[in-house]
Amino acid sequence: MIRSRWTSVPAVHLVLLLAALYSLLPLVWLATSATKSLGEFSTTSPFELGQWHLGANLAALFAQEGGIFLVWVGNSAFYAGGGAVLGALICAACGYAIAKTRFPGRRLLFALTLAGVLVPTTALALPLYLLASQLRVVDTALAVFLPLLTNPFGVYLARVYAEAAVPDEVLEAARVDGAGELRTFFAVALPMMRPGVVTVLLFQFVGIWNNFFLPLVLLTDPELFPLSLGLFQWSTRQSQFPQYTPLVVTGSLLAVLPLVVAFLVLRRQWRAGLAAGSAR
Amino acid sequence: MSVPVPRGPAVATPPAARVPRRRERGVAGLLLAGPFALLLAGTVLAPVLYALYLSLFTERLAGLGFDGPRQVFTAMGNYAAVLGDRAFHDSLGNVALFALVHIPVMLGAALLLALLLDSAVVRLRQLWSLAVFLPHVVPVVIGGLVWAYLYSPGIGPLAAVLPFDPLSDVGVLPSVVNMATWQWTGYNMVIFYTALQAVPREVVEAARADGAGPVRVALSVKVPMVRPTAFVALVFTVIGSLQLFTEPLVLRGFTGSVTSTWTPSLYVYEAAFIAGDHGRAAAASVLLAVVCAALSALVMRLSARRSG
């Protein structure tokens, strides 16, 4: 077999290397820039480390506006962590109920869930804001938490997992043993669906951590901001106040790190979720 | 104002079942599905209906305006206003241009990289796919900020290296394309790579035995077999492009070249929260949602036909 020049081993790896550099260099830049003072952005080369200003940058970041950055970290952790755990459980229960129980309105609920997957956030933001202001919950954590909790695609995935991983015979056996229906779900079905539920949880965590539009629309009180919204707001000030630049850069690095770590640790669940996503 | 909140299935009681077990199962189903049904009704269905309602009304000042604005029914008036608005046309033009460049470049690169990962000669497969996927786990706002800094003269290196100014009027489009391409290439590469893994090895071996080189195998055997996956990825990318919002919004803090109505989503945001014209904003968001839903329905229909 004759191999052309373009499919030779070095050529293939050169292309992959270029793609990897394109993907990683902006993040490397973020890491090296977090070590620089404002002045060093123009005096040092882009990928060179600064005079090790990271400590000073971190101190400034945590001190800015009475330590609001840590409040944002806490908010993001609360929205994403709480939303992912609670949301995955709600999705699992609903997916299981649609797949394995019979209740009136089951088909309608599933059809509406599929329709819900299609609705873009852009179309929801304004009516959610107006509804929240009528209910007087604008600028509360609840107003942003409940919409983020709603994950129609998670229900769709959970239904697929429940159908695939929970055999009817096992449920029958549990019932014969006298377990109630709710107990059967929590003690028998949920553990069997665990890999799928972890995937839903992971995707919902990242989805909420990354969500920007809803908090932007529903929140004005900085005390309630998630990280991405807080950093965005600082970034809009830097044309007038350049001292915000090192703060936003250092804060961005801290916002990316937990996701990179979560991704590297939970690679397998990612892949399972992506495979499911590609089949939808 | 009364908002028609659609009731989930939680209201109906199950028909009297002869076996009490069966009724218990129905009740358990309702209890398990209930929380999500309520969330769906309250945070998706009610807002959608409310947006439809809002899009049919406009606010007018009555008399001398001392009574404050009044809601007036306009039927299709808001839709006509949006469809006749120059700024809305421009925003559609911008996302069309964006999609025209972004989609072939990003999906082409993703497919090429997936084929390379799938080729027999490649080493360190895991490492490459991890590296290229990593941008996808970066929040869009943060990715946008990082690129915006890289474009900024005096902070990032790109303004000095590139032959054009990435933050100028003509430069922002390629800049936004690059931000989105950086974020989505790895994601689609993994999707394509997963699909390539499902190509039967015997088919590839048979083509090789017939003397086909690696390029020929890739183009004539592998690519046709991942076409359904590529089609789904294409439609989702088109929908994502239509909703382009965060990247241009972030860039607005760095350059005046991105207008407040640069994309349809920014147009909705501007109409709703800056101009305060709720009817026009609702009409624009309904139009946007209808186009996205139509595209999704199309892809579902086509993929169902293929598997059915």
Q: Taking CB atoms and an 8 Å limit, are B8 and A105 in contact across chains? A: yes
Closest partner residue to B213 among A1, A182, A229, by Cβ? A1
SS3 content of chain B, % helix, strand, coil (to 5): 70, 5, 25
Partner A, chain B 226-255, Cβ-Cβ below 8 Å? 229, 232-233, 239, 243, 245-246, 249-250, 252-254
Nearest residue of chain A to residue B230 (CA atoms): A278
In whole angstroms, what is the distance from residue B123 CA to residue B136 CA? 23
Q: Taking CB atoms and an 8 Å limit, are B8 and A146 in contact across chains? A: no
Alpha-carbon gap: A66 to the closest alpha carbon of chain B (Å): 23
- Per-residue pLDDT averaged across B3-9, rounded? 44
Interface with chain B: mutation pick from A4, A5, A6, A23, highest number of B CBs within 10 Å: A23
HSE-CB for A40 with a 13 A CA cutoff: 18
Closest partner residue to B186 among A23, A134, A150, by Cβ? A23
Share of chain A above pLDDT 70, in %: 94
Say if residues A247 and A61 touch (Cβ distance below 8 Å): yes
Contacts of A248 in chain B (CB under 8 A): 145
Query: Tell me, what's the pLDDT at B16?
Result: 45
Residue numbers of the domain that contains A139: 50-279
Residue pointed to by tokens 């807002």 = B47
Amino acid at A153: F
Q: Please, what's the b/e burial string for A12-25 (b: 16 or more CB within 10 A of its CB; e: otherwise)?
A: bbebbeebbebbee
HSE-CB for B173 with a 13 A CA cutoff: 13
Query: Tell me, what's the pLDDT at A93?
Result: 94
Nearest residue of chain B to residue A210 (CA atoms): B139
CA distances from B241 to A95, A158, A200, A251 (A): 30, 28, 25, 28
B73 forms bridges with which residues in the sheet? B57
Instruction: Parse chain B into domains and list their residue ranges.
Output: 20-54, 79-307
Closest partner residue to B40 among A112, A121, A245, by Cβ? A112
Q: Taking CB atoms and an 8 Å limit, are B190 and A118 in contact across chains? A: no
Query: Tell me, what's the pLDDT at A1?
Result: 43
B72 forms bridges with which residues in the sheet? B58
- Per-residue pLDDT averaged across B254-278, rounded? 90
Backbone angles phi, psi at B117, to 5 degrees: -65, -35
Q: Taking CB atoms and an 8 Å limit, are A255 and B142 in contact across chains? A: yes
Alpha-carbon gap: B281 to the closest alpha carbon of chain A (Å): 8
- Per-residue pLDDT averaged across B181-202, rounded? 90
The residues, any chain, with a CB within 8 Å of residue A44's CB and separated by 6 or more, are A36, A50
State the CATH class of domain B79-307.
mainly alpha
| Residue A190 belongs to some domain of the structure | yes
| Residue A22 belongs to some domain of the structure | no
In whole angstroms, what is the distance from residue A239 CA to residue A241 CA? 6
- Angle, CA of B249, A246 and A212, to the nearest 5°: 30
Query: Tell me, what's the pLDDT at A43?
Result: 73
The DSSP output letter for B73 is E
The residues, any chain, with a CB within 8 Å of residue B98's CB and separated by 6 or more, are B173, B176, B177, B180, B241, B244, B263
CA distances from A280 to A93, A112, B299 (A): 20, 16, 10
Domain total in chain A: 1
- pLDDT 10s digit of each residue in chain A, 280 long? 445 566 678 888 999 999 999 999 999 999 988 888 877 777 777 777 777 778 888 888 888 888 899 999 999 999 999 999 999 999 999 999 999 888 888 999 999 998 888 888 888 888 999 888 888 888 899 999 999 999 998 999 899 889 888 899 898 888 888 888 888 899 889 999 988 898 889 888 888 988 899 999 999 999 999 999 999 999 998 878 888 888 999 999 999 988 888 888 877 777 766 666 544 4
Nearest residue of chain B to residue A22 (CA atoms): B182
Nearest residue of chain A to residue B135 (CA atoms): A23
The DSSP output letter for A1 is -
* Cα radius of gyration rounded to whole Å, chain B: 25
Query: Tell me, what's the pLDDT at B124?
Result: 85
Q: What is the pLDDT of residues B61-92, one digit of tens each?
A: 666 656 667 778 887 888 998 899 999 999 99
Query: Tell me, what's the pLDDT at A44?
Result: 74
Confidence of residue B208 (pLDDT cuts 50, 70, 90): confident
Query: Tell me, what's the pLDDT at A219?
Result: 92
CA distances from A2 to A15, B107, B115, B206 (A): 20, 29, 19, 16
CATH number at residue A73: 1.10.3720.10
Share of chain B above pLDDT 70, in %: 88
pLDDT at B153 over 70: yes
Partner A, chain B 120-149, Cβ-Cβ below 8 Å? 121-123, 127-128, 130-135, 137-143, 145-149
Contacts of B44 in chain A (CB under 8 A): 116, 119, 124, 150, 152
| Residue A44 belongs to some domain of the structure | no
